[in-house]
Structure 1
């Protein structure tokens, strides 16, 4: 198995849950990234305390103020990351930030659907657009042909709940706006894979599993560590044939 070897990575929603877990595991790699950009909405707030503590001890972590529902914030973050990187590009963009509203079909509202869709679907679209120049630069500066996460990649954190064929845990929670936003994110991932392939950028939609986080609750069977370890192992091995696919943390293909 090839080793995941990236010079730079950006993780959105990095102050807790899977995002924080990804940052922690990148630090533990045999060859950690030179730059780990940890995006979060309120870098100085109490919910980012653990991330702040980590960054204070590790000079390769740069906390980036980033609200993925705000185009101005995204553009400012892209400019800041570009400054840090100097002339080099961004190898890995992990669109992890997401939200859920616990609504049924009967209680879903315009406001909640709009808010969830903006964060879970439009955010990754705008992130891809804003960071495309840095991803292209990383791809151009990487040796060899083909696609890989060590070269340049967009990883969109989706969910099995976005599968239309398999209505995953419907009886546990309808979460209609969340399901719709993740199904749309899957289509976005496919579109990005087709549009960005010519630039040498791999794009996949990834289901991290049903994970024990603030968002997932205490019911899920999977810990953050188990999920992140599985995903990083997967990212080290996927290549051109996986671009545009919908996979889980173990590499299994999930039906659209």
Structure 2
């Protein structure tokens, strides 16, 4: 397994759950990133308290306001990150922010489908577009050929719930808008991998497992995977993947999840 050597990383939805877990793990690395950008809707709010505490102790951690459903907010965040980075690029972009509506098929509405798609699919699309110049810059400034997460990468946190081949968890939770949005996110990842390969950017979708987060537990069941284990597993996967994996959906243990 190679070592994940990331000069800079941005994590969306970083004030809780998996996003916060990623930030904590990056801070604990033997060689932590020079810059860790943690984004959330309200950086000064109560729900970002833990993130604020971490930022007060770690000068390399910068909290940035970002609403994934707001194009103006995304552009403003990209500009701020660019200012901090100066002439260097952004190595790793982790699209983690997501939402779920716990509803059965017959209860799904236009509003729910639209809101879920906007957050889970359109948000990562727009964020990828906004940060593309910084990702390109990181890829250009990285030595060696081939693709890797230590060079430049987009990581979309997806779900086995978006797998058309698998009916995982259907009896417990239909969550149709969530499943559809994640299936679309998987296709977006494939499209990004095809479009951004020429720029030296690896693109991957990850299923983090059914994790003990606010989102994971919103169906009333207790998920089996702890945040710490999921994040540790995903970082191990990111350290070992290469060009051949770009465009795939892998789980937190490195196994390919069927489309």
Q: What TM-score results when the alignment is normalised by the length of structure 1?
A: 0.99
1:228 to 225, 231, 236: 231
Give the aligned partner of residue 187 of structure 1. 187
1:111-146 CA distances to partner (integer Å, 9 max, x unpaired)? 011000000000000000000000000000000000
CA–CA separation in structure 2 for the residues paired with 1:245 and 1:90:
22
Match status 1:250 vs 2:253: yes
1:82-121 matches, within 5 Å, as 82-121=82-121
CA–CA separation in structure 1 for the residues paired with 2:215 and 2:189:
22
Residue 248 (structure 1) shift: 0.2
1:102-251 matches, within 5 Å, as 102-217=102-217, 219-251=222-254
CA–CA separation in structure 2 for the residues paired with 1:52 and 1:101:
28
Give the aligned partner of residue 35 of structure 2. 35
Q: What TM-score results when the alignment is normalised by the length of structure 2?
A: 0.98
1:183-236 CA distances to partner (integer Å, 9 max, x unpaired)? 000000000000000000000110000000011116111000000000001100
Q: Which runs of 5+ in 2 are unaligned?
A: none
1:8-58 CA distances to partner (integer Å, 9 max, x unpaired)? 000000000000000000011110000000010000111000000000110
> Alignment length, in residue pairs?
256
Runs of 4+ aligned residues of structure 1 deviating over 3 Å after TM superposition are none
* Aligned-residue RMSD, C-alpha: 0.5
Q: Which runs of 5+ in 1 are unaligned?
A: none
Give the aligned partner of residue 61 of structure 1. 61
Residue 168 (structure 1) shift: 1.1
Residue 237 (structure 1) shift: 0.5
Q: Secondary structure at the match of 1:119?
A: helix
CA–CA separation in structure 1 for the residues paired with 2:239 and 2:64:
25
CA–CA separation in structure 2 for the residues paired with 1:91 and 1:80:
16
Q: Secondary structure at the match of 1:51?
A: helix
Give the aligned partner of residue 21 of structure 2. 21
1:77-134 CA distances to partner (integer Å, 9 max, x unpaired)? 0000000000000000000000000111100000011000000000000000000000
Residue 180 (structure 1) shift: 0.2
